[in-house]
Amino acid sequence: MSYTDLLIERQDHVLKLTINREERRNALNEEIMIAMRMALEENIPNREIRVVLVTAVGDKAFCAGGDLKPGADTFGFDPSEPRTAFAGLLRVAKSCDVPIVARVNGHCLAGGMGLLAMCDMAVATEKALFGLPEVKIGMFPAQVAALLERLIPPRKFDEMTYTGEPITAQEACDIGLINYVVPAGELDEKTNWLLGRIVDKSPTAIRRGKYALRATRDMSMDQALTFMESQIGMFGMTQDAKEGLAAFNEKRKPVWPGK
């Protein structure tokens, strides 16, 4: 696949999606949203892909949100179409059965916060700011809120939404929005460290585990326990589980079949 505004690469077990609009602070447009969704749909069924990395070019912005350039039609809306390109991307990402990691190389604002929220983990440069500034231009982070309000403590989420003011990377880490904050020069090293800690584990356990966690997220505790009771035996039936147990007893590194 070849797109101007989104770079798509496969590196070993990693699918890397890089927004390529540095001159527009990596702002989103319809091409990026559709291309990112299609890249996930087309690559995730490939079991060689064990993790997705979402990032952007440059060192100023991860994603500044929608493109506000005159004529960009960022907020264009077809009343006859109930689904937007951005919501379509978020739906596909949240249904993905492999972990998605964000490499936040700069400011993460507005729609960029939606990209962050669709990821399972994130590493950010200490210079990054995180914010929902939509109210400053008479808009509201409606689609982003559907994901973010599940990640950010309610009062902090309300403050960010109603004031439009950003928080620092360290504050974002403190409230659990991101996993790690590092100096800019250490961003790649820390990101690769995290990716490495994922791809050397059982891809089957992670794939089935993420599926199960997603299924139980809106269940009551009793419903979740009942569902998980039906799942636990399935893990033990996989080839990965057999290999993991054999490797443990033989004191060697497992070679995952991924089945």
Nearest one of 212, 242, 211 to 229, comparing CA atoms: 212
The predicted structure's pLDDT at residue 199: 96
What is the per-residue pLDDT for 70?
A: 59
- CA torsion through residues 77, 81, 83, 88, sign: negative
Look at 95 and 70; give whichever has higher pLDDT. 95
Average pLDDT, the chain: 93
pLDDT digits (tens, 9 = 90+) for 108-157: 999 999 999 999 999 999 999 999 999 999 999 999 999 999 999 999 99
Integer angstrom CA distances of residue 153 from 12, 87, 97, 176:
36, 22, 26, 9
Q: 138 vs 14, 110, 127, 135, CA distance in Å?
A: 39, 13, 27, 5
Residue 201 pLDDT class (50, 70, 90 cuts): very high
Walk across the sheet containing 51-56 and list its strands. Answer: 6-11, 14-19, 51-56, 100-104, 121-125, 180-182
User: Can you list the alpha helix ranges (DSSP code H) found in the chain?
Assistant: 30-43, 85-94, 111-117, 142-148, 154-163, 169-174, 187-199, 203-216, 221-236, 239-249
With a CB cutoff of 8 Å and minimum separation 6, the contacts of 127 are: 59, 106, 169, 184
The span from the CA of 150 to the CA of 139, in Å, is 21
Q: pLDDT higher for 197 or 80?
A: 197
How many C-beta atoms surround the C-beta of residue 106 within 10 A? 26
- Please, are residues 111 and 56 in contact by the beta-carbon 8 Å criterion? no
Question: Model pTM?
Answer: 0.92
Instruction: Kindly report, residue by residue over 72-109, the tens digit of the pLDDT.
Output: 555 556 777 778 899 999 999 999 999 999 999 999 99
Pairwise CA distance, residues 166 & 123, whole Å: 18
- The burial of 72, by beta-carbon neighbours within 10 Å (0-12 exposed, 13-18 middle, 19 or more buried), is given as middle
The residue type at 217: R
